[in-house]
A and B are shown apart, each in its own frame.
Chain A
Amino acid sequence: MAVLARLDTSSPAAGRGWSDLTIRNVFIIPTIAFLIIFNIFPLLYSLGYSFTEYRVSLGKPPQFIGLANYRDLLSDPGIWSSFTTTAAYVIVSVGGQMIVGFGLALLLNRQFRLKGLVTTLLLLPMMLSPAVVGLFWKLLYDPSWGPVNYALGIGKFEWLSHPVNALFAVALTDIWMWAPFVMLLSLAGLSAVPKHLYEAAAIDRASGLYTFTRITLPLVAPILLIALIFRTMEAFKSFDLPFVMSTASVQTVSIRLYQMAFQGWDTGRASALAYIVLIAVIAITNVYVKYLNKVKER
C-alpha cells in the first residue's frame, strides 16, 4: 500500500468499493500480461528455434545446432547485400522525406485562407495502406502505358525491374507517403518558435539565410531529430511497399526474412535472422524514446 500513498491515504473513497490498489492492478496487469503473451513469449520461443535446425514443412523435430545459424548468416554475402540494400533504401527514402517534408513545412508556415484544407490533403498519403499504395504506384510506373513515363516523356523506362531504378522508384513512393509525416512534425516545431525572435532579427536587418540558420534551424532541430529517428526505424523495417512493388529488385531485410521463413520454410535460420534484425530495432527504439521524452519535457 505504501506505493499508493499519494492517493490512498487522503482519498475519501478509501474503504468504499474497490480499493485503489485493486483498481490499479485490475487496470494495468491484464495489458502487461497480454503484451507479454503476444510479444515477449513469441520472441523467447523463436530464440529457442534460432539455435536449431528446423523446418516447419517437414515433420522432423528441431535439432540443436548451437550458434551455427548465426555464424552462417553473418558469413552469407546474400544477407549482407540485403542489409546494404536496406541501408541504401533508408538513406534515399528518409533523406528525401526530410528534405521534401521540411520544405513543405517552410512553405506552409504562414497564414492563408486554405491552409487547413491544404494541410489535411497533404497528410492523406501517410494514412493509406502501404500495400495498396504500392499496388497503384505499380500502375503509375508501368513501363509501356504508365502515366509517370508519359508525363516525364521518357519512353519505356523500366522503373521496377531494374535493381537500382527500383530502389529509387520504391523510395520515391515512400517519400510520397511519408514526407507529410515530416511536414506535420516540422510545422509543430516551426509554430513553436517564438515570434519575437523573428521580429528582433528583422529589426536588426538580419539576412533571411542568417535568420534561418541561427533561429529557425536550431529551434526546430529536436523535433526534426524525432522525425528522422522514427522514419529511419520504420524504413529499416520496410516490408509492404517493396514487397508489393518489386520483391526481386528491392530485397530489404524484412523481405529476406519473409522469404526465408515462409517460402523457404527454413524456420531455425529465419529465427536467427529475426534476432539479428531485432537487436538493430531495439537499439534504434532506445534512441527514439530517449529523444521523445526529451521533447516532451520541453
Chain B
Amino acid sequence: MAGVTSRAQRIWNPIAIIAVVAATLIFLSPIYWIASTSIKPRTAATSVPPTVFFTPEITPYVKLFTKRVQAKQPPTQEEYDAAPWWEKLVYDGGERVLKVGDEPQLSQYPNRFFNSLIVATLSTILAVGMGTITAYGFSRFKVKGESDLLFFILSTRMLPPVVIAIPMYLMYRTFELNDTHLGLILLYVAFNLSFSVWLMKGFIDEIPKEYEEAALIDGYTRLQAFWKIVLPQAATGIAATAVFCFITAWNEYALALILTNRRAQTAPPFIPSQIGSGLPEWTVIAAGTVLFLLPVALFTFVLRNHLLRGVTFGAIRK
C-alpha cells in the first residue's frame, strides 16, 4: 500500500485507530472490574453506585485461602496482638480462622486449584506426547484411508461433552473412576488428543524430510532420526500445542462438573458453586477468579503468534 495512499485512507486511519483503542478498553473493562473487585473492601464490592476509587486491600486473598467462621465474640486484645498479619485481617472482618490445634485450616480453594493443576498438566503431557508421534506417523508414512482417519480423529473433538458424559459416567461407575484424577485426566487426553494430532501434523509437515534422510544416510535409525532431528525442530510447535491443551483442560467445565464432586473436583465447577450457599462474598470469589485466570492470561501472551493456527486446527498457518 506504500505507493498509493488515497485521501480517504489518510482521513480514516486515525479514526479507525481511535475506535479500535476504544473498543479494546471496552473489551477489557469486565476483566478490569473483576480484578479490581478482588482487592476491594467487602462493602465496596456491592455498593450503589459502584465503587471506582477505593483503598486496595489484600484481605480477599487471605480469606480465599483460609477456613473461617463468624466470630461469636471479638478476639481478646491478647489474641489479636499475638495473631500474624493475615489473621488480624480476618479478625477485622468479624470472623476468625478455624484451627486444629495451632494449625490454621485451609479453605477448599487451594485444593481445587491444585486438582486443576494436576489434571491439566498430566493430561497435557499425555495428549501432546501421543499427538506428536501420531502426527509424525501421518506426516511421514503412507497410511491407508489417511483422510478418513484424520477426519475421524478431528470429529471426536466436536462431540458435545454432555453427550459423552452420560455413558462415561456409567462406565466410570463400573470401573470406580468417578471423582478420581485419573478418570478426568483420561477424558481430557481423549478430548485434546485430536487437537494435538492435527496441530502437530501441521508443524511436522513443515520440517523438510531431507533432514531426516540425511541423518538416515549417516547411519541413524529412523527412531534416532525422529528423536534427534525431528523433535528438536518441532520444539516450538510442541510447546504451542502443549499450552493450548493445557488451557483447554484448565478451563473445562461440563465433564468436571458431572464426573467429579469432592476428591478430584477442579476449580471451574468449584468457583461458581460458591455462590450457591448463603450471602456470596464477591470479593473472595473475585480473588479466586483472578488467580485462576492469571495463568491463562500469561499463556495468551506467550502464544500470541500461534493463536490463529491453534483455533483453526493448524489449517491456517500465518
Q: Which residues of chain A are within 8 angstroms of B3 by Cβ–Cβ distance?
A: 199
Q: At the interface, yes or no: B160 with Cβ under 8 Å from chain A?
A: yes
Partner of B152, one of A35, A150, A199, A295: A35
Q: Which residues of chain A are within 8 angstroms of B159 by Cβ–Cβ distance?
A: 39, 43, 278, 281
Residue among A5, A28, A124, A271 with most chain B CB within 10 A = A28
Q: At the interface, yes or no: A228 with Cβ under 8 Å from chain B?
A: no
Contact A17 B170, CB 8 Å, known A34-B130, A188-B318: no
**Inter-chain contact A295/B271, CB cutoff 8 Å:** no
Partner of A199, one of B1, B31, B289, B318: B1
A136 to B313, alpha carbons, bound, how many Å?
29
A147 to B44, alpha carbons, bound, how many Å?
12
A192 to B317, alpha carbons, bound, how many Å?
12
Closest to B222 in A: A13
Query: Do most interface residues of chain B lie in helix, strand or loop, or is the interface mixed?
Result: helix
Closest chain-B Cβ to A149's Cβ sits at a distance in Å of 9
Q: Which residues of chain B are within 8 angstroms of A146 by Cβ–Cβ distance?
A: 50
A293 to B315, alpha carbons, bound, how many Å?
8
**Inter-chain contact A239/B160, CB cutoff 8 Å:** yes
Contact A188 B158, CB 8 Å, known A4-B142, A123-B300, A135-B289: no
Closest chain-A Cβ to B13's Cβ sits at a distance in Å of 6
**Inter-chain contact B315/A11, CB cutoff 8 Å:** no
Q: Mark A215-246, 1 if CB is under 8 A from B, else 0.
A: 00000000100100000010001011000100
Closest to B135 in A: A27
A168 to B7, alpha carbons, bound, how many Å?
40
Q: Which residues of chain B are within 8 angstroms of A20 by Cβ–Cβ distance?
A: 141, 222
**Inter-chain contact A131/B271, CB cutoff 8 Å:** yes
Q: Which residues of chain A are within 8 angstroms of B27 by Cβ–Cβ distance?
A: 121-122, 124-125, 176, 180
Closest chain-A Cβ to B151's Cβ sits at a distance in Å of 6
Residue among B131, B151, B159, B286 with most chain A CB within 10 A = B159
Instruction: Tell me how many residues of B have a C-beta within 8 Å of chain A.
Output: 110
**Inter-chain contact A267/B221, CB cutoff 8 Å:** no
Closest to B225 in A: A13
Contact A137 B30, CB 8 Å, known A45-B167, A132-B271, A145-B50: yes
**Inter-chain contact B137/A123, CB cutoff 8 Å:** no
Q: Which residues of chain B are within 8 angstroms of A239 by Cβ–Cβ distance?
A: 160-162, 253-254
Closest to B47 in A: A145
5 contacts across the A-B interface (CB closer than 8 A): A107-B17, A135-B289, A267-B166, A288-B158, A289-B154
Measured CB to CB, the residues of B under 8 A from A are 1, 3-4, 6, 8, 13, 16-17, 19-21, 23-24, 27-28, 30-31, 33-34, 37, 46-50, 130-131, 133-134, 136-138, 140-144, 149, 151-156, 158-171, 173, 186-187, 189-190, 193-194, 197, 213, 216-217, 219-226, 247, 250-254, 258, 267-269, 271-272, 275, 282, 285-286, 289, 292-293, 296-297, 299-301, 304, 307-308, 311-313, 315-316, 318
Measured CB to CB, the residues of A under 8 A from B are 3-7, 11-13, 16-18, 20, 23-24, 26-28, 30-32, 34-35, 38-39, 42-43, 45-46, 49, 56, 104, 106-108, 110, 112, 114, 116, 118-132, 134-140, 142, 144-147, 150, 176, 180-181, 184-185, 188, 191-192, 195, 198-199, 202-203, 208, 223, 226, 233, 237, 239-240, 244, 254, 257-258, 261-262, 267, 270-271, 274, 277-278, 281-282, 284-285, 288-289, 292-293, 295-296
The 7 tightest CB contacts between A and B, nearest first, are A17-B221, A38-B190, A27-B137, A42-B167, A129-B251, A131-B253, A46-B167
